[in-house]
Amino acid sequence: MCDRSSASPWLTKSTLVAAFDRVDIDVDSGRQVRYRDAVTHPTRVTAGIHLPQAGPAASGPAIRRAAIAAEEIGFADVWVSDHLAVPTGAAYPPSPWIYEPFTTLTWAAAVTERIGLGTTVLVLPMRHPLIVAKTVASIDRFSNGRVILGLAAGWLEAEFEALGVPFDERGARTDEGIAMLRRLWTTDHVTDEFPVHHSSYASMRALPQPERHLPIWVGGHAEVALRRAVAVGDGWHGAFLTPEQTKLRVDRLRRDRPEEAFAISMRTRWDALEDDADTILGELDDYIAAGVTHLVPEPRQRNIDDYLRSMDQLVALMTRAGVSFSHS
């Protein structure tokens, strides 16, 4: 556990860059490797909150209340997950009742004005990139530029089978899909071939486009996902790793992307009504010490009143650890 007295000074300085020769473990091979590491420690750690999107108690009114409360409290963004179908008896996701992510984000956008809108994470290869590009650009326009597109290659093979999408092509579909998104968002008359998706464009137009550079945070924990984040992402978005596991990934990412603008985000299962406060505080310190710049807790409460109580208590704990909210 990180000593709070040694972690908190990071949050009071504009930037602290440590450059040094070191030995670390390659997360892919497990071998020791030596490299010169330039690590930009976070000067401002922010937080989002996962909306109550899943389970029988999830509803339009509950999501509306949660989104409005998150904006009023000062969260940076609200987040939704992506599963279209779940095998019977699956241990995870814990419920097959999951509202579609883009519909949910549109609903949240309609009842808020400032808070960011993120996906944690969209399984990009399950959808054609042209549809994703059009949908995301539309939500971003409607919301005045608030979308963060978290995406990854996916892991639930049965879901791919249900859609008729080859599971073993998910990596190639993700890579080409990201290229297609960027092209469709920045070029008016697109002429190109995208062989993995069997798509041919001859001066095709797909308007409207985002009015800004729309951030893509790449998810996934394997080396191939980290390379993808480094190569084409505006950030990395992990989920449910321990602080120790997170630090290995952050060190790997910062070798090539030391700039502070490159986000390091971690989704957690913290629930302040059920988890020990000191445990949450200790993990908060350890994630910040590992280089995490953004946190997305997901309260397990599905009763909206308990969810909101957990949200309030999480804000109090994160504020103690130095996490920034717009009111602080």
Which residues participate in catalysis according to the annotation? 83, 157
Return the C-alpha torsion angle 65, 70, 72, 76, nearest 10: -150
Query: Rounded to whole angstroms, how far apart are CA atoms 42 and 253?
Result: 14
Q: How many CB atoms lie within 10 A of CB 132?
A: 20
Give me the long-range contacts of 17-24 (CB less than 8 A, separation at least 24).
17/41, 17/258, 24/248, 24/251
Beta strands 16-25 and 32-41, pairing class: antiparallel
Q: Is 45 exposed, middle or buried (0-12, 13-18, 19+ CB in 10 A)?
A: buried
Residue 91's φ and ψ, nearest 5 degrees, are -70, -30
Cis amide leading into 9 (omega within 30):
no
